[in-house]
Amino acid sequence: MLLTDILALGSGGIVGLSLGLIGGGGSILAVPLLIYVVGVSSTHVAIGTSAVAVAANAAVGVFFHARARTVKWRCALVFAVSGIAGAFIGAKIGKAVNGQLLLAGFGLVMIAVGVSMLVRKNNVGDHDVHLDQTSAYKLLPSLIGYALGVGVLSGFFGIGGGFLIVPGLINATNMPILYAVGSSLVSVAVFGATTASTYAISDLVDWHLAGLMLAGGAGGALVGAVLSRRLASKKHMLSRIFASVVIVVGLYVTIHGVILLGFLS
């Protein structure tokens, strides 16, 4: 239907904007949008479809952030590669769990992450941090450890994981949030593709809707990347926006997941 296609394009634009602006929120916004706005009846199909769209939109976001030189490539690639195994294992387990329980659980994780970012001491981060032979002994264990944990959660909950990857990169390397946002999109794309492949094998992807969301997301990603650079110039504003969005969306997802679980029980 034409209306469904338009809603899918608009939903993709929102997802792309979120990914470009704060490096996260793609899947956790895409799944509710697909279910409540576009009208996808199966939670697992919504998760699989969103994973495809978010992975592709994240790749577009990487392009825009790379042009602005806000991607720490070595740190980003180590984080992404290290998290693949975790995402694959998490996705295998997640497909066997009730879809609403997955959303409610991830909502609680989001709230905890957002609160931790709000209460942490203000820190602009180290703009010059980079992974090389000198810093490897310190950065590699931290990057790999955080990546494995985030990868499992990302695959289990069926999301790209940007809301977890950004804090993970900041804690692992002390990079500024603008660089964490740009670098996180590499992992979002990789984790999303890993999760999407497991759902695609099980025929739990609506490819038509995924394509429409990708088309809408390309424009949103461009706008988000531009806004991200502008907000980063205002001290701590981007990190506070990020944490606030995480908490609000986490509350929404948790409440809806619990309500729907009540109806289904």
**pLDDT, tens digit (0-9, with 9 covering 90-100), for 28-87:** 678 878 888 998 888 888 888 988 888 888 888 888 889 888 899 999 999 999 988 887
Quote the pLDDT of residue 150: 85
Task: State residue 123's pLDDT score.
Answer: 57
Q: What is the 8-class DSSP label of residue 68?
A: T
| Per-residue pLDDT, 190 | 83
**Residue 131 pLDDT more than 70?**
yes
What pLDDT is recorded for position 76? 92
- Give percent of the chain above pLDDT 70: 87
Distance CA 18, CA 54 (A): 10
Distance CA 265, CA 263 (A): 6
Q: What is the model's pLDDT at position 206?
A: 93
Which residue bears the tokens 């199966």? 42
Residue 252: name the closest of 118, 98, 133, 114 by CA.
114
pLDDT at 75: 93
- Residue-level pLDDT at 71: 92
As a residue count, the chain comes to 265
Q: Can you tell me the mean pLDDT for 90-115?
A: 76
Structure tokens at 108: 């609680």
- Torsion sign over Cα 216, 217, 220, 222: negative
Greater pLDDT, 206 or 177: 206
